[in-house]
Amino acid sequence: PVFIGSAEVISERLAEKNKRGYLFFTEEYIEGREFNVSVIAGEKTPLVLLVAEIKFLNYPGEKPKIVGYRAKWDETSFEFKNTVRHFVNEHEEPELCERIRQICLQCWKEFDLRGYARVDFRMDEKGNLYVLEINANPCISADSGFVAAANQSGLSQTEIIKSIINDSMKP
């Protein structure tokens, strides 16, 4: 992602886009808490796993709090070292967790998701939730956020794979 903080930079980027002819999209940056929530197919209904909050520790004020390439993959970077996953205590924030859970279920239904998915959110200072992304094929490697959420919910990586396979065999 590229963070654009001024109208002048936007004009430059649009000129570059027109010159090169490639496609891109823009979205508003939403300051606030970030969550990602893993969802897996169940026997009859999807199971929404524990809500993971992404914490941006020690980020300077001018640095955008974005989970970009460096935060995910560059182990030597500031972003990787200071962007951490924390599972929300459902007993401390039950209303928030339930709102997020209901939106995840709605996304699952509306986008006809199968097997497994992840829904990413931002919550602004007023408590409004925004869906940033619905990932219908999130990473399920052993060190992924999806597997961490499953493990926190009492599921093993093997159980995740079995659930995905079982769901793929349903008509």
The per-residue pLDDT for 4 is: 63
Domain ranges of the chain: 30-168
Taking the whole predicted model, whether its pTM rises above 0.75 is answered as: yes
Cα(84)–Cα(72) distance, rounded to whole angstroms?
10
Pair of tokens at residue 136: 């219908």
The per-residue pLDDT for 36 is: 96
The per-residue pLDDT for 21 is: 74
Tens of each residue's pLDDT in the chain, 171 residues: 556 666 777 778 778 777 877 777 777 889 999 999 999 999 899 999 999 999 999 999 888 899 988 999 899 999 999 999 999 999 999 999 999 999 999 999 999 999 999 999 999 999 999 999 999 999 999 889 999 999 999 999 999 999 999 999 988
Class of domain 30-168: alpha beta
Cα(30)–Cα(65) distance, rounded to whole angstroms?
9
Q: Report the SS3 class of residue 117.
A: strand
Within 10 angstroms of residue 60's Cβ, the number of other Cβ atoms is 6
DSSP state of 111: T
